[in-house]
Amino acid sequence: MPYQSTDQTRQKKDAKRTAMMQAAVRVFAEKGYHAATIRDVVNAAGVAIGTFYFYFPDKETLFVYLYEETADFLLQAIQQAVTGRATLPKQFAAGLQSYVNIALYEPAVVQLLLVGGVGAVPALVERQATFRERLTAIWQRPLDTALDKNQIIPQNTRRTAEALAGAFDEIVLNLLNLPEPEMEADAALQDMIHFALRAVAYTGH
């Protein structure tokens, strides 16, 4: 009997593939692209080296894929939170809340994107640039809208958005470096929101 391929097997394979990707995210987040070895990844996943190459073509491809998946996940989460709100304060609050939540519960996601430690691998440098671009865009859109409504003072919203993106990342990374990030998360969140509202000179109407 020729072995069921559609049912359990397919699911198991997908499960293993997912497990390996999660292990890989953790390893890459912790060590960075170059310092992480395939052996690290397979050890973390509890499989043999050959198994890695059964599921993925090579190290770089996996990393790029992981990076993009992770970037999409983070960006969409923040974007979605922002999109659902009407006013700038609520947009900051929701977007940052989402960001902080991910940082707390999926720290590897944030570390992979923000630390990375790529250097010299063209394909990866490019993705990083794209990620920064998209992240900035998320913050810039609400600013443009608010500017239209005269709710913030005139400014180069693109530059402000860059600055905010950098500011938020720094706060979040510092948060993750604490021994107990959850203890400080709320305060950090509030500080970020207020910082942002001041920085854009939000007037309220």
Partner DNA sequence: TATGAATGAGAATTCATTCAT
Partner DNA sequence: TATGAATGAATTCTCATTCAT
Point out which residues bind DNA (CB under 7 A): 1-5, 8-9, 12-13, 16, 36-39, 47-55, 57-60
Shortest spacing between CB 30 and DNA, in angstroms: 14
Query: Which of a second copy, DNA, none is residue 13 near (CB under 5 to 8 Å by kind)?
Result: DNA
Q: Which residue's CB is nearer to a second copy, number 183 or number 187?
A: 187
188 vs 21: CA distance, rounded Å? 30
The entry of DNA, a second copy, none that residue 59 binds, CB within 5 to 8 Å by partner kind: DNA
By the criterion CB under 8 A, which residues form the site for a second copy?
A: 30-36, 115-121, 129, 132, 153, 155-156, 159-160, 162-171, 174, 177, 187-188, 191-192, 194-195, 198-201
31/141 with CB nearer DNA = 31
Picked from DNA, a second copy, none, the partner binding residue 149 (CB below 5 to 8 A depending on kind) is none
User: Which CA distances in Å does 54 have to 8, 17, 153?
Assistant: 18, 10, 56
Binding-site partner at residue 201 among a second copy, DNA, none, CB < 5 to 8 Å by type: a second copy
Q: Provide, rounded to whole angstroms, the least separation between the CB of residue 135 and a second copy.
A: 10
Strand segments (E) across 15-67:
none
130-167: b or e for each residue (b if 16 or more CB lie within 10 Å)? ebbebbbebbbbbbebbbeeebbeeeebeebbbbbbee
Query: Where does residue 85 rank: exposed (0-12), middle (13-18), buried (19+ CB within 10 A)?
Result: middle
CA distance 152 to 162: 16
Q: How far is the CB of 130 from DNA (least distance, A)?
A: 22
